[in-house]
């Protein structure tokens, strides 16, 4: 099972107003009715996506930080007055809003299955209601992405996986929180510098095709870049891949001014065949230490195929498919009231079994296997 | 064609460090080599996703605001020094970094097709390189979501569409920027209060199942809520849908204490059949003005089916499928160097035709049709 433990969470931005309007309306009604007893809400996934046989629970640490810092500021209050859908007295009540509840959760990076609580919120009902949207959103974001990344890491079977997804993800926050989720799932480093800063994740990256194109020749681009960054990886497929490999070899074995090359990156074509051909050429030139990295539309299936075929690839840069979890970008996640005032509550609906009240998860071994 | 014009963009958060590390490495090399001429980068989608016959370009306004405010602060500089992958002199150079380039773009809400530039960046090459990741990320986020929403709005054929997606989206930023993109695509309102505040989008919402469950009976929950919010919509399917409809009717027609009801919402079951049965019951009770809203796993296909079947539904709440654009959550979007120092540049790759140099898009009519 891939995965790391949780990593540090800085104080996050202000987002008390990130809630569905109906949460505030329900809270207003609870306050007006004097309904202030403790509610238990359970956050779980009703069904695993078809393409997943487990999820890697993630995002709980961020939820805790967000809840600790949740405040409605005067700008929020002014906006809520302006929409004229809430009672002014209730809007004033929000000024003093703090989350006083208790949160129970499985640790980040824990594999979870359908109908197992990822998190349980125990709090006065209005408080538990107001935070629903935020809690669901953050756990969804991180769990969807960690779960996809865990599959990619498993497929890579010990080879390096680097997160290249920043440009294709759903905004800056998704990319930064996603890089953290990927890291928890076992991804080794990220191209995303802001994620590196915020979470101390190792950052990696070298050059793009545009860099080669901007120079008069590929060889000139390689030399300029490697002089700036000795030991770097060179992107060899801008024009003709094997010609690019030969240019890299020429640079590393230049009898006059050799420059150390750490690796080459293949970003198009038949990655398996090109990796084999490049490996042979590098080895023949005595460059056994130069690594081969591959990118270009990779996901767990393509990586598994390359690994199974014995392609001599040392690491994979994975972008779009991991960045948006393209085959399962959402979860059927719910935040269900399971008790109020100490009494179990349930909604009846066909095909949706729910156990009332608070839960405890047990794992048992089957035939001596975890 | 659905769609609104652009809406106001507030000053966005600090995100200069949101870049792939290789952008900074390439920029360092350009600076070291004295390569300071103007580059033209073109942002376009190479292929439409299979499930799209057009895209609604979105996100350009946010890109402009981000570029105007891009600065590396002292914390960013300290972090970049700490990773020891960049030259300290170059890191100092970033202190004074400002984006001085020009940006050309189609207006937000413009339908675009494959290989048409959504945006062209004309700037000193190091500047244009550093912003690549951010530009691609923000345009991808908004365009993916606006393009999905445009299909939902088209399917609804004039009926109201409300954004219910906040909880299932990829973080707070995706949800707020997404709500804006949905609105530009013609969605009428959002449940997302922070999006309402940031962009002045109308906010909407009523009650959840948990509210009904928390009360001693559905009828008690309906009365409490409607007394707080006269004219509200009641969620009728927590226990038995038609019993819920009858409870709503009883409340609205109570001879002693009638309360105005604005609508009912169906959130499970056979929405078409239930809407017909509910409409008949409401009409029989003289409640022709009470509207019927539907939600529950809706997307453009299910909405089109309901509309085609003549289901008496006045509005749709759309969540997950629109919120993550589940059938096409990413774009094959590229940021290609097409000129440097006034000379066209291109990368050769099979099946990827690129025209060199700057572009201009023309629309022509075919047989008198737009």
What confidence tens digit (pLDDT) does each residue in B110-134 have?
999 999 999 999 999 999 999 999 9
Q: How far is B329 from chain A (nearest CA, A)?
A: 6
Locate all alpha helices (DSSP H) within A40-105, ordered by sequence.
Answer: 60-68, 74-82, 88-95
In angstroms, rounded to a whole number, what is the distance separating the alpha carbons of residues A321 and A367? 36
A173 chain-B contacts, CB cut-off 8 A: 170-174
Question: What is the 8-class DSSP label of residue B158?
Answer: T
For residue B343, pLDDT over 90 is answered with no
Q: Which of A169-196 are b and which e, b meaning 16 or more Cβ less than 10 Å from the residue's Cβ?
A: bbbbbbbbbbbbbbbbbbbbbbbbbbbb
Domain B21-146+329-344 shares a fold with domain B152-323: no
Residues A161, A152 contacting (CB under 8 angstroms)? yes
In total, chain A counts a number of residues equal to: 370
By C-alpha distance, which of B58, B57, B71 is closest to B13?
Answer: B71
Across the A/B interface, how many CB contacts are shorter than 8 Å? 308
For residue A235, pLDDT over 60 is answered with yes
What confidence tens digit (pLDDT) does each residue in A20-29 have?
999 999 999 9
**Interchain pair B132, A193: CB under 8 A:** no
Q: Which of A106-134 are b and which e, b meaning 16 or more Cβ less than 10 Å from the residue's Cβ?
A: eebbbbbeebbbbbbbbbbbbbbbbbbbb
DSSP assignment of B270-298 equals: -HHHHHHHHHHHHHHTT-TT-EEEE-SS-
**Interchain pair A35, B214: CB under 8 A:** yes
How confident is residue A245, by pLDDT bands cut at 50, 70 and 90? very high
* Residues facing A43 on adjacent strands: A119, A335
Top-level CATH class of A151-323?
alpha beta
Percentage of residues in chain B having pLDDT higher than 70: 90
For residue B349, pLDDT over 50 is answered with no
By C-alpha distance, which of A266, A273, A269, A276 is closest to A244?
Answer: A266
Identify the pLDDT of residue B4.
67
Mean pLDDT of chain B: 93
How confident is residue A354, by pLDDT bands cut at 50, 70 and 90? very low
Which whole number is the average pLDDT over A194-208? 97
Report the residue of A15, A16, A22 to disrupt the B interface, i.e. the one with the largest count of B CBs within 10 Å: A22
Q: How far is B22 from chain A (nearest CA, A)?
A: 5
Q: Which of B138, B212, B345 sits opposite A214 (nearest CB)?
A: B345
**Interchain pair B197, A79: CB under 8 A:** yes
Q: Which of B87, B176, B208 sits opposite A22 (nearest CB)?
A: B208
Question: What is the 8-class DSSP label of residue B215?
Answer: S
**Interchain pair A174, B174: CB under 8 A:** yes
What confidence tens digit (pLDDT) does each residue in B19-39 have?
999 999 999 999 999 999 999
For residue B350, pLDDT over 50 is answered with no
Q: Which of B35, B80, B193 sits opposite A21 (nearest CB)?
A: B193
B80 chain-A contacts, CB cut-off 8 A: 193
Percentage of residues in chain B having pLDDT higher than 90: 88
Give, for A303, the enclosing helix (H) or strand (E).
Answer: helix A300-308
Domain B152-323: which topology?
TIM Barrel (3.20.20)
Tokens of A50: 């078809």
Residue of B nearest to A124 (CA): B214
Residue of A nearest to B137 (CA): A167
Residues B126, B96 contacting (CB under 8 angstroms)? no
The more confidently predicted of residues A344 and A171 is: A171
For residue B363, pLDDT over 80 is answered with no
Which whole number is the average pLDDT over B172-193? 98
**Interchain pair A18, B238: CB under 8 A:** no
What confidence tens digit (pLDDT) does each residue in B86-109 have?
999 999 999 999 999 999 999 999
Q: How far is A296 from chain B (nearest CA, A)?
A: 11
Domain B21-146+329-344: which topology?
nicotinate phosphoribosyltransferase (3.20.140)
A323 chain-B contacts, CB cut-off 8 A: 330
Residues B68, B160 contacting (CB under 8 angstroms)? no
How confident is residue A356, by pLDDT bands cut at 50, 70 and 90? low
Identify the pLDDT of residue A10.
61
Q: How far is A304 from chain B (nearest CA, A)?
A: 22
Identify the pLDDT of residue B218.
97
Identify the pLDDT of residue A357.
62
Which whole number is the average pLDDT over A71-80? 96
The full set of domain ranges for chain A reads 21-146+329-344, 151-323
Identify the pLDDT of residue B14.
80
**Interchain pair B168, A194: CB under 8 A:** no
Q: Which of A20, A175, A330 sits opposite B166 (nearest CB)?
A: A20
Residues A240, A247 contacting (CB under 8 angstroms)? no
Q: What's the maximum distance between 2 C-alpha atoms anywhere in chain B?
A: 85
Q: Which of B20, B144, B211 sits opposite A192 (nearest CB)?
A: B20
By C-alpha distance, which of A115, A110, A142, A169 is closest to A321?
Answer: A169
């Amino acid at each position: 099972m891939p995965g790391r433990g949780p990593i540090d969470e800085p104080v996050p931005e202000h987002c008390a107003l990130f809630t569905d309007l109906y949460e505030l309306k329900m809270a207003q009604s609870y306050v007006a009715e004097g309904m202030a007893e403790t509610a238990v809400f359970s956050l779980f996934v009703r069904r695993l996506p078809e393409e997943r046989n487990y999820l890697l629970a993630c995002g709980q640490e961020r939820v805790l930080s967000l809840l600790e810092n949740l405040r409605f500021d005067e700008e929020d209050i002014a906006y809520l007055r302006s929409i004229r859908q809430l009672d002014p007295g209730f809007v004033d009540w929000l000024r003093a809003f703090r989350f006083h509840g208790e949160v129970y959760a499985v640790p980040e990076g824990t594999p979870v299955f359908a109908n197992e609580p990822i998190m349980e919120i125990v709090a006065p009902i209005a408080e538990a209601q107001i935070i629903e949207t935020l809690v669901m959103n953050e756990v969804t974001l991180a769990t969807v992405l960690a779960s996809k990344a865990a599959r990619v890491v498993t497929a890579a079977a010990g080879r390096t996986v680097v997160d290249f997804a920043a440009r294709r993800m759903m905004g800056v926050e998704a990319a930064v929180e996603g890089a953290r989720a990927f890291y928890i799932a076992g991804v080794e480093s990220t191209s995303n510098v802001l994620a590196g800063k915020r979470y101390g994740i190792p950052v990696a990256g070298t050059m793009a095709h545009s860099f080669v194109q901007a120079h008069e020749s590929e060889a000139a681009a390689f030399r300029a870049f490697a002089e700036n960054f000795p030991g770097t990886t060179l992107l060899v497929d801008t024009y003709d891949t094997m010609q690019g490999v030969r240019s890299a070899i020429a640079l590393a074995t230049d009898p006059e001014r050799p420059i150390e090359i750490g690796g080459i990156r293949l970003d198009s074509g038949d990655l398996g065949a090109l990796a084999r051909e490049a490996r042979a050429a590098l080895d023949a030139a005595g460059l056994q230490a130069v690594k081969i990295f591959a990118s270009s539309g990779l996901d767990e299936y393509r990586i598994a195929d390359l690994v199974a075929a014995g392609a001599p690839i040392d690491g994979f840069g994975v972008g779009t498919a991991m960045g948006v979890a393209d085959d399962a970008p959402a979860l059927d996640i719910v935040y269900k009231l399971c008790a109020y005032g100490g009494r179990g509550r349930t909604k009846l609906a066909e095909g949706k079994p729910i156990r009332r009240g608070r839960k405890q998860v047990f794992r048992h071994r089957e035939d001596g296997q975890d």
